[in-house]
Amino acid sequence: MTLLANPNLTKASPLEERIASTHRGMAYWAGTGPGGTTCGECSHFKLKRGLPEGYCMLRLPGAKKARTDADAFPAATASCRHFKAS
């Protein structure tokens, strides 16, 4: 079964938008950092060589230590509340 998405039918709630913009590997919800800043500008972010994506290196208590390619996300992602200017 295929679901048809029509943006005119319903408007996503702020929570749905936040969930959709947050990537696996982030330390917290995207868009909760200082306005207009991105993960690429954060001192916790490490770019993958030659790519516009990378990893969040901030590890919170209880977080897993092993990092996989699935944890990489775009540097242009809106920052989270743990943002620290580099």
Residues at the interface with ligand SF4 (CB under 6 A): 26-28, 33, 39, 42, 44-45, 56, 58, 79-80, 82-83
Both structure tokens of 2: 């295929």
We find the least distance from the C-beta atom of residue 12 to ligand SF4, in angstroms, to be 21
Provide the 8-state DSSP code for 48: P
Q: How many angstroms separate the CA atoms of 75 and 53, rounded?
A: 5
Q: What is the CA radius of gyration of the chain?
A: 15
Contact between 53 and 73 under an 8 Å Cβ cutoff? The reply is: yes
Which is nearer to ligand SF4, 8 or 47 (by Cβ)? 47
Both structure tokens of 59: 């590890």
Which is nearer to ligand SF4, 53 or 58 (by Cβ)? 58
We find the least distance from the C-beta atom of residue 86 to ligand SF4, in angstroms, to be 9
Which is nearer to ligand SF4, 9 or 60 (by Cβ)? 60
